[in-house]
Structure 1
Amino acid sequence: MPGAKELDPYTSPRSFYGAELRRLREAAGLSQEQLGERVFCSGAYIGLFEAATRRPQAEMSKLLDGVLGSGEHFQRLCRLAQGSKHAAYFADAVELEQRARTISEYAPMLVPGLLQTEAYARAITRSTLALADAEEVEGYVRARLDRQRILDGPTRPLLWAVLHETVLRVPMGGPAVMGEQLRHVAEMARERRILVQVLPFAAAADVFINGMASVMTFRDEAPVVYTEGAGGGQLVEERALVEQSQRSYDLVRAAALSPAASLPLLDSAAEEYPTP
């Protein structure tokens, strides 16, 4: 049970948040389930905050302050605990990636961040942050490359990526950068570190997912979905919406080429771009 974890409250702002939540909840004579009912979530979800497993959230902190009569205590702690080198809308999803058992991604336009080369990541960042200085750009690039370390460890998640054929045809960063990127994805697939499928143009009309989607499953937590569009993203945890996204992803995966058939298409697309 997440709430049973004993924390040293002084190891991090998040640990302090979790310890304070547990202290004030118990002082109010509430179980995790009872507090969850009052703030519209499950008791297990409260336990994740108390165990410092989940990153505190502003809206939830406001509800907790209201129920526990703590003024703005949790809202202030939340601001301290939310520090991240990633965009605020993506920070929760990054932390969930680190615990995920499986990550199933659909990419309609760009190579997913976990599979990007440094040059490709830099090209995307420069494109989306056109007015940012070099230091800010490099900070985002380093953060993206740091995320990829989860694919190197012995407990790495199973990563299954479905790439729309558009991803192969948009030369982000120029031909040389794009060619290197596609060869990198193909190499990872051949090393059996990931599963990759390509959704060809001919099959794309048969399925529909509105933008990028990442479905994550865990050993001891409910699955979640992260979706992203231009300028922002959203973490979806409502069970019905998660199940709907899982069904949509399954349909996309069924319509795409098999992993074995996708590799030659990746190779041929890479050959269209020059080798540096």
Structure 2
Amino acid sequence: MADEPTPTADLIRAQLRRMRATAGLSQEEYGKRAHYSASMVSAVELGQRPLDEVYLARADKVFGTGDLFVSLLKLAARDGEPTWFRPWLEAERAAKQLRCFEPMLIPGLLQTEDYARAVIRGDVTLTDDEVNALVASRLARQAILDREHPPQVTAVLDESALHRFTEESATVMAGQLTHLITFARQPNVSVHVIPTKVGLHIGLSGSFVLARSDDGGWVGHLDNQLGGTVVDHTEEVEVLLARWESVRNVALPTWQSVELIEEVMKPWTT
């Protein structure tokens, strides 16, 4: 039986160690040049912390490797992406506009690392390595928001997504909602909350995302317990666009949504 191919992330870590050693740098010396602690450098090289674009961009700068490590990170992210998800990722990466609706969770593109990890760890069948890979992949997707010309993102979520506070999760949730408010104040992101008093609405049937490309065409994506489905048939996309209008119409404007989020956070942050 042929050996399993080495995951791209492992190859990146091995190359980081090799280039650091070739340059005659200790972890502490390299960390000073890249503006990281020696413990952070060690954690990344040992796979105890997920790779991220900022860390690897600094590595490219220190080693003079152009954008080699950043490009490899994109391949590493794909290692953990199931085949069924890749068509949607291509649409997401090329999107000029994204419309996200979530009835129970914070949208993936707006999640913090701690929140994403807590959500993904809800699947008890995953190993620690699998959790780390999925978290790294989710964070890597968020790089589209840091581009010079990022997509316009409109996120609508039900108020129930804000009320996941428990004594154990308070720090994670407070951090996530603070992060959400920060995004809501960016020019390319708008966040809208459907308040509980709205009652029943069509969005409670499930989450979905719509991506608009350069040519004006729309593609949708539906999540479910076993994976997800790309929606690209005209009639089905039109249904999702109509559902979008329905949930957007009952959601609060951004400024009121931010006020509501702050009100939800207050008992857990004072």
Q: TM-score, normalised by structure 2?
A: 0.67
Question: Pick from 229, 238, 253: which aligns with 1:234?
Answer: 229
Tell me the residue number matched to 1:136: 130
Question: Pick from 210, 219, 224: which aligns with 2:214?
Answer: 219
Give the 3 Å change call, closer, same or farther, for CA 101–209 of structure 1 in structure 2.
farther
When the two structures are aligned, how many residues end up with a matched partner? Answer: 192
Equivalent residues of 1:227, 1:234 under 8 A apart = yes
The question of 1:112 aligning with 2:102 is answered no
For residue 215 of structure 2, give the secondary structure of its aligned residue in structure 1: coil
Equivalent residues of 2:156, 2:248 under 8 A apart = yes
Tell me the residue number matched to 2:165: 171
The question of 1:99 aligning with 2:88 is answered no
Give, as a single letter, the amino acid of the residue that structure 1 aligns with 2:155.
A
C-alpha deviation, 1:206, in angstroms: 4.0
Matches within 5 A, 1:180-199: 180-199=175-194
- Cα distance per residue 1:10-54 (max 9 Å; x no partner): xxxxxxxxxxxxxxxxxxxxxxxxxxxxxxxxxxxxxxxxxxxxx
Equivalent residues of 1:209, 1:248 under 8 A apart = no
C-alpha deviation, 1:125, in angstroms: 1.0
For residue 149 of structure 2, give the secondary structure of its aligned residue in structure 1: coil
- Cα distance per residue 1:49-91 (max 9 Å; x no partner): xxxxxxxxxxxxxxxxxxxxxxxxxxxxxxxxxx642233322
Tell me the residue number matched to 2:151: 157
Tell me the residue number matched to 2:253: 258
- Cα distance per residue 1:200-247 (max 9 Å; x no partner): 112142434521100111112621110112222100111011011101
Give, as a single letter, the amino acid of the residue that structure 2 aligns with 1:181.
Q
Give the 3 Å change call, closer, same or farther, for CA 180–156 of structure 1 in structure 2.
same
Question: Pick from 194, 200, 204: which aligns with 1:205?
Answer: 200
C-alpha deviation, 1:192, in angstroms: 2.8
Distance 1:131 1:234 in 2: 22
Higher RCO structure, 1 or 2 (CA under 8 Å, sep 6+): 2
Give, as a single letter, the amino acid of the residue that structure 2 aligns with 1:155.
H
Give the 3 Å change call, closer, same or farther, for CA 272–230 of structure 1 in structure 2.
farther
Matches within 5 A, 1:19-168: 84-128=79-123, 130-168=124-162
Distance 1:134 1:93 in 2: 26
Which is further off, 94-103 or 171-180? 171-180
- Cα distance per residue 1:118-145 (max 9 Å; x no partner): 00011111112x1322111111101000
Distance 1:116 1:159 in 2: 14
Give the 3 Å change call, closer, same or farther, for CA 111–208 of structure 1 in structure 2.
closer
Equivalent residues of 2:156, 2:191 under 8 A apart = yes
Unmatched 5+ residue regions in structure 1? Answer: 1-82
Give, as a single letter, the amino acid of the residue that structure 2 aligns with 1:138.
N
Q: Which ranges of 4 or more aligned residues in structure 1 deviate by more than 3 Å?
A: 206-209
Give, as a single letter, the amino acid of the residue that structure 2 aligns with 1:149.
A
**RMSD over aligned Cα, in angstroms?**
1.8
- Cα distance per residue 1:171-220 (max 9 Å; x no partner): 38711100100010001112334100001112142434521100111112
Equivalent residues of 2:103, 2:203 under 8 A apart = no
Give the 3 Å change call, closer, same or farther, for CA 237–126 of structure 1 in structure 2.
same
Give the 3 Å change call, closer, same or farther, for CA 271–247 of structure 1 in structure 2.
same
Q: TM-score, normalised by structure 1?
A: 0.66
Unmatched 5+ residue regions in structure 2? Answer: 1-77
